[in-house]
Chain A
Amino acid sequence: MENIDCIRISRPSNEMIDFLERTQHRKKAQMDKICEKYHKLIKG
């Protein structure tokens, strides 16, 4: 099997950009919530 170390998608569709943007929003919302929990735990 061909050995690859980088995949380059230079012309992403709107669908893929939508997926990446959704992922970015999900990551931010999730990390905001979890970090808030740890802030409360540490600072009381």
Chain B
Amino acid sequence: MNQNVMKMITPLAAVIIFGLGLLVSGMNNPAKIRGFLDVFGDWQPALMAVMVAAIAIFALAYALSNKMKQPWFHSIFHRPSLTVIDKRLVIGSALFGIGWGMVGLCPGPALLNVMTGQWDVVLFVAALLIGNRIAHYTVGPAK
């Protein structure tokens, strides 16, 4: 099939599987995330299995890609170029973690949950997008 068509179909198919995975596992449910993060209270560790399974499968795919010259439908692997562990990484991740725990939504599930039509989700996503732009215009992209 035409490479340009596959460049459209691949991310579409991948993200539909991704979204179904979030919904099947319960990652979309803020109450469940809060339970997972409630380590010092009524801890519900089941979501650990989501990360373990996902990381294991991606790790296999990544190992496989090291033996490939290029992806199936594209000319190069866009390997992340940032390797430095700096204040920016730690502060950003800390801010994200605080927001994640406060409500129980990380970006993927938040976007997905907009489809529930609940205004609470729309409000959260609007704030998320504004936060993204505030950081873009104040801190700027990482080099």
Is B a genuine binding partner of A?
Answer: no
The chain B residues found within 8 Å of chain A, CB to CB, are none
The chain A residues found within 8 Å of chain B, CB to CB, are none
